[in-house]
Amino acid sequence: MELRLRGKAAVITGGSVGIGLAIAEGLAAEGVNLLLVARGAERLDQEAARIEAAHGVRVVTAACDVGEPASAETITRLAETTFGGVDILINNAGTGSNETIMEAPDSKWDFYWNLHVMAAVRLARGLVPGMKRRGGGVILHNASICASQPLGYEPIYNVTKAALVMFSKNLANEVVGDNIRVNTVNPGLVLTPDWIKTAKELTAGTGGDWEGHLQAVADEFAPIKRFASAEEIANIFVFLCSERASYCVGSAFFADGGMLRTI
């Protein structure tokens, strides 16, 4: 299927690993130039150089923490000076949490609110004007099945991802008249480095069968009985960036292997 994305420009946060990196690969394969954002400069630059060489697109980087207010200004400025604005924004940066509501301090709530919600708000304010000048665009948010079906050990993650979905819906209504489509993707279990790291830590004292641990998680939660690959989730993002998804506005798309227990 021809997606007609060649020559467009995209910002991807959390773009050096996991789902964000897979989205970067998928868009680059379609001829999209990239501005990749992540905290670790060394890994970010390595992946950018590899993608650029593999796909013949331009890839620039911004090593910053999107949870910090000043980062949105840095990213917006770089997008303007490099590409004259961008056509696509992928708000992907995020991470899981582990706490109880009764014990978690305000500082932890603030950290996740800034990372999962305010980063998306600030980047929309910064990049939407450029999208309008370019005739339209696409904004996609990587939320989680936990926005609708929470996991008990990470209430802050659940709450902030739910807020991200609601922000996405409101932003979609506000900018659709400018030919900017906004949607959310809610993945279920995805085999990212974070999941692997956690599984290894949890099984270190009991034989180290981290793969068996992950399989048990998949067996318990996902009727499909496996984790998704990052590439499987990235394929949905790439499609939603294209004209082929032109009637998709303000929606949340679940990619969860049947994990969601409601309709």
Known catalytic residues are: 157
What residues contact residue 251 under an 8 Å CB cut-off, 6+ apart?
183, 184
As beta bridge partners, residue 254 has 186
CA 196 to chain centre: 18
Structure tokens at 9: 């420009």
Rounded to an integer, what distance in angstroms lies between the CA atom of residue 126 and that of residue 159?
A: 25
State whether residue 181 is helix, strand or coil.
strand
- Residues 152-172, buried b or exposed e (16+ Cβ, 10 A)? eebbbbbbbbbbbbebbbebb
Rounded to an integer, what distance in angstroms lies between the CA atom of residue 226 and that of residue 216?
A: 9
Alpha helices in 94-209 (DSSP H): 106-113, 119-133, 155-175, 193-203
| Interaxial angle between packed helices 41-55 and 18-29, expressed in degrees from 0 to 180 and rounded to the nearest 10 | 20
Tell me if 108 sits within 8 A of 60, measured CB to CB: no
What residues contact residue 110 under an 8 Å CB cut-off, 6+ apart?
none
